[in-house]
Chain A
């Protein structure tokens, strides 16, 4: 039953936003990875999940904010059952590790999808990355971090609107990166952000 809902959700997203993937820097291998993407629409998570081929998708858990996706039964159902999302606290209590559930998944050999901007941006700019991705990269130095750029989602469902415009979205997957020995937090976050920005544009010109 839940599996059916999942399939329907993916099908719906593929029809509405055409979610397609373009693998530029790596292949869609079903191995443990940390995917990270720019974030400017509610459709982002589902768009990436829909763009992933089934063997990769079944292995991957999006990370979502509990203060948004955990607020009512419908949202929680879509997030936890529909997308197999792991909900985390954006404003954690002191001395707690908000990333613990994410680390647990990675330890089990699963992949995760995170949005390091932390929130949806309201324009085309990609906001500076929060430090969570750096902590995950240090904690799992042998796991590839795959940058993803999402096109057009801003125009499909902009922040503040509930009207979906069915423009085609492309999820472009770039060259994986890892934290270099001795690399500082700021340098790594800038490099990861640059990797996402580099994937922008290109349309159908390939």
Chain B
């Protein structure tokens, strides 16, 4: 790992320390019931960030296998959250069982063994055909098309897309590939954090109250621009030039935004506020990884097409 990486790591820890200090001060000042709740949620989020940074950073330091196992576990949690909220019928039982215990592990084994050809098509082609075939065996035709779509979408979002983040480790670009993953995660997550901060400070115009009541135009523009700026400054983690880094982080931010947006739309459709409850202040694993689901395949393909040697 480069010395620049150590500086980035120190910056993240510094940022968290500052956030914790601000949270502490706000907590002592908050008096109204409304602001107390907001500050409590903010502090819960910051506490969870410490844990997430520790887990992710620890996996990166332990090496590629640890990273793949971590993401396999995150996919498992996300798929579980998806199916906890999404309706299914008795006729889907075997397809769900196979999703959790065959498709998910196989996808990550393909990743671990660097079998890119099958990794890229296993879920979109083979799971796509096999799971509905299995579901027909129960003879339940009720809502068959919608059920098939749900089974496939659950896998595409929570397993296929998310697995493209650790898949960056497969790529030979001349720079340490783990840093590409660090870069993706930093830009996506900072974009979310900046959108939250800008939205809380300046947010006035609701972007789409139907889908995501807390998202504002101010948050979106301010947060997106800040994240693109950081993404540009971090070009030394990557094989990109500063200009390329600016363009690529724009892609990451826009895709990340739509990831969050699409997953919110699904939540609204299912009448839920959060995907789960395991990350205090954030909701579920899928609430934290929603932006990653859209950003990681795009980022992976950009790097693979233009920057691999």
Question: Chain B nearest CB: distance from A172 CB in Å?
Answer: 14
Task: Determine whether the beta carbon of B84 is less than 8 Å from that of A168.
Answer: yes
Q: Which of these, B100, B273, B274, contacts A166 with CB under 8 Å?
A: B100
Is residue A104 within 8 Å, beta carbon to beta carbon, of the partner chain? no
Tell me which of B83, B90, B271, B277 contacts A167 (CB under 8 A).
B83
Interface of A is mostly: loop
- Residue pairs across A and B with Cβ atoms less than 8 A apart, 16 shown, are A20-B277, A154-B90, A155-B83, A155-B88, A158-B93, A163-B93, A163-B94, A165-B83, A166-B76, A167-B84, A167-B96, A203-B84, A204-B275, A204-B283, A205-B271, A205-B272
Please give, as numbers and ranges, the residues of chain B lying within 8 Å of A168 by CB-CB distance: 80-81, 84, 276
Judge if B97 is at the interface, Cβ distance under 8 Å. Answer: yes
- The contact string, 1 if C-beta is below 8 Å from chain B, for chain A 68-79, is 000000000000
Is A121 an interface residue, CB under 8 A from the partner? no
Annotate A142-178 by CB proximity to B: 1 below 8 A, 0 otherwise.
0000000000101100100101111110000000000
Whether A166 lies near B80 (C-beta < 8 A) is yes
Interface residue? B270 (CB, 8 A): yes
Q: Report the separation of the CA atoms of residues A107 and B275 in the bound assembly, to the nearest whole angstrom.
A: 43
| Known pairs A163-B97, A168-B81 / 18 extra A-B pairs, C-beta < 8 Å | A18-B80, A152-B84, A155-B93, A163-B94, A164-B97, A165-B83, A165-B96, A165-B100, A166-B76, A166-B80, A167-B80, A167-B83, A203-B271, A204-B273, A204-B277, A205-B272, A205-B273, A206-B273
Contacting residues of chain A (13-29) with chain B, CB-CB under 8 angstroms: 18, 20
Q: How far is the CA of A154 from the CA of B91 in the complex (A)?
A: 12
Q: Report the separation of the CA atoms of residues A168 and B83 in the bound assembly, to the nearest whole angstrom.
A: 8
Least CB distance from A100 to B in Å reads 37
Please state if B93 and A203 are interface contacts (CB–CB under 8 Å). no
